[in-house]
Amino acid sequence: MNAPASHLDALIDALRRLPGVGVKSAQRMAYHLLQHDRASAQRLASALQAAAEHVQHCRRCHGLSETPLCGICADPERDARQLCVVEGPADLAALERTGSYRGLYFVLKGRLSPLDGVGARDIGATELLERAADGQVQEVILATSFTAEGEATAHVLAQALKARGLQVTRLARGVPAGSELEYVDLSTIAHALVDRR
Amino acid sequence: MNAPASHLDALIDALRRLPGVGVKSAQRMAYHLLQHDRASAQRLASALQAAAEHVQHCRRCHGLSETPLCGICADPERDARQLCVVEGPADLAALERTGSYRGLYFVLKGRLSPLDGVGARDIGATELLERAADGQVQEVILATSFTAEGEATAHVLAQALKARGLQVTRLARGVPAGSELEYVDLSTIAHALVDRR
Ligand SMILES: [Zn+2]
Ligand SMILES: [Zn+2]
């Protein structure tokens, strides 16, 4: 590529680290921000820094929160006997949008990916076992994705949770196989939640 | 959407301003950065600020540059008799990658879009006419996109440039109609450059 200045290169590299962004998109974004919309570049930089500074992990569910305990974990109306395990904050948000679940959550750091060296400890399985053993949780609902890796993650977690005497369920197979939970329509998710097995 | 914290909302909003990023992608990016990859969030914030600070517009071609005059404009080997007009830095980069052009450039701020209220002055037509009247430029090659708006832009600029006694050419129609220049394969662009009319 013809002589791009070094700060421009660094920006393109940083944009490429965003999920779903290839080199072409990253170039397009960088050119757009610098050629046409510098105010947005500054705004994005500030938003990133403020979010990195203020958005923490909830100490109970490990989801994103600006307070030590997130709004869901702090809500006394939520049913502390149910703990729904998701792969990340986007899946938690999708489940909440269905309005069908009144229990609590545990947010993993993604899913098992043995080929990439991502094991149970990396995704927070230890913290999940600790959380689920609080004496209040009776049922753990595994809501990992219905992909090969999501299923393997559910299987491994189910084994460990059952060994500790917990009831373990899985979202019903209403969720289309091979799909990422956050892109599934709400009624399908709601249905799968009712039919959990 | 369930109670997302305000700094998180602000980040999602800022990410949505990037070209090609919808609300779903912006959420996914924000969640990814904050849940899994805070180092990348900090790196992107720094890269944005450094680029906004150091990458300026070349005073001659109005493209992106870290010096007052960009590498192309400062290169005495380039042919100052030819001036190629593009819609943005991505198109300049695409033309440079073909290795078929040895003249200079003028980088517009996009293309005419009357429905969005984007007129000739907004895209830098005044600066182009000034630049093309330096006494050295003999031929202005219009390399705006082959979309309806890109064609209209070329038409309007051609009229104004010809009225000032300049020879005006257009990339040959080897470029597939309806396509954005930056996504066209290099050999097609190279061919279109040779066959300019
Ligand atoms: Zn929480
Ligand atoms: Zn220049």
**Tokens 């305000």 -> residue:** B6
Tens of pLDDT along B121-140? 999 999 999 999 999 999 99
Ligand number nearest CA of B80 is 2
Both tokens of B126, joined, read 């005044």
User: Are A84 and A166 part of one and the same domain?
Assistant: yes
Question: In this predicted complex, what is the ipTM?
Answer: 0.77
User: Are A46 and A129 part of one and the same domain?
Assistant: no
Q: Do A31 and B64 touch (CB under 8 A)?
A: yes
User: Percentage of chain A surpassing pLDDT 90?
Assistant: 68
B182: in domain: no
User: Are A44 and A85 part of one and the same domain?
Assistant: no
User: What is the SS3 string spanning B32-64?
Assistant: HHHHCCHHHHHHHHHHHHHHHHHCEECCCCCCE
Q: Do A182 and B24 touch (CB under 8 A)?
A: yes
Say which CATH number the domain at B141 has. Answer: 3.40.1360.10
Q: What is the DSSP letter of A79?
A: E
State the pLDDT at residue B189: 77
Tens of pLDDT along A154-177? 999 999 999 999 999 988 766 666
Contact indicator for B6, B30 with CB cutoff of 8 Å: no
Tens of pLDDT along B15-43? 999 999 999 999 999 999 998 888 899 99
The rounded Cα A105 to chain-centroid distance in angstroms is 11
Mutation site for B-interface testing, chosen from A35, A70, A98 by largest number of B Cβ within 10 Å: A35
User: Are A92 and A142 part of one and the same domain?
Assistant: yes
A60: in domain: no
B127: in domain: yes
Say which CATH number the domain at B24 has. Answer: 1.10.8.420
Q: Please state at what angle helix B38-54 crosses helix A38-54, rounded to 10 degrees.
A: 150
User: Are A50 and A84 part of one and the same domain?
Assistant: no
State the pLDDT at residue B4: 44
Give the structural domain span for A141. 79-170
State the pLDDT at residue A1: 39
Mutation site for A-interface testing, chosen from B18, B24, B181 by largest number of A Cβ within 10 Å: B18
C-alpha dist (Å) from residue B61 to A32, B4, B44, B84, B127? 17, 44, 28, 10, 9
Q: Do B49 and A31 touch (CB under 8 A)?
A: no
Contact indicator for B30, A92 with CB cutoff of 8 Å: no
Residues of chain A found within 8 Å of residue B108, distances taken between Cβ atoms: none
User: Are B42 and B95 part of one and the same domain?
Assistant: no
User: Where does the pLDDT of residue A197 fall: very low under 50, low under 70, confident under 90, or very high at 90 and above?
Assistant: low
- Whether the CB of B4 is below 8 Å from some CB of chain A: the reply is yes
User: Where does the pLDDT of residue B177 fall: very low under 50, low under 70, confident under 90, or very high at 90 and above?
Assistant: low
User: Are A85 and A156 part of one and the same domain?
Assistant: yes
Tens of pLDDT along A51-85? 999 999 999 999 999 999 999 999 999 999 999 99
User: Are B89 and B155 part of one and the same domain?
Assistant: yes
User: Are A39 and A120 part of one and the same domain?
Assistant: no
B120: in domain: yes
Ion ligand 1 residue ranges (Cβ < 5 Å):
A 58, 60-61, 70, 73
A2: in domain: no
For the entire predicted model, the pTM comes to 0.75
Tens of pLDDT along A171-194? 876 666 676 777 777 777 776 777
B193: in domain: no
- Whether the CB of A32 is below 8 Å from some CB of chain B: the reply is yes
Residues of chain A found within 8 Å of residue B53, distances taken between Cβ atoms: 7
User: Are A160 and A122 part of one and the same domain?
Assistant: yes
- Whether the CB of A74 is below 8 Å from some CB of chain B: the reply is no
Report how many domains make up chain B: 2
Residue B190 has pLDDT above 70, yes or no: yes
Residue B141 has pLDDT above 80, yes or no: yes
A192: in domain: no
State the pLDDT at residue A177: 64
Q: Do A55 and B7 touch (CB under 8 A)?
A: yes
B63-83 in b/e form (b: 16+ CB < 10 A) is bbbbeeebbbbeeeebeeebb
Q: Do B47 and A19 touch (CB under 8 A)?
A: no
User: Are B103 and B154 part of one and the same domain?
Assistant: yes
Residues of chain B found within 8 Å of residue A14, distances taken between Cβ atoms: 40, 43-44, 46-48
Contact indicator for A17, B40 with CB cutoff of 8 Å: yes
B184: in domain: no
Residue A3 has pLDDT above 50, yes or no: no
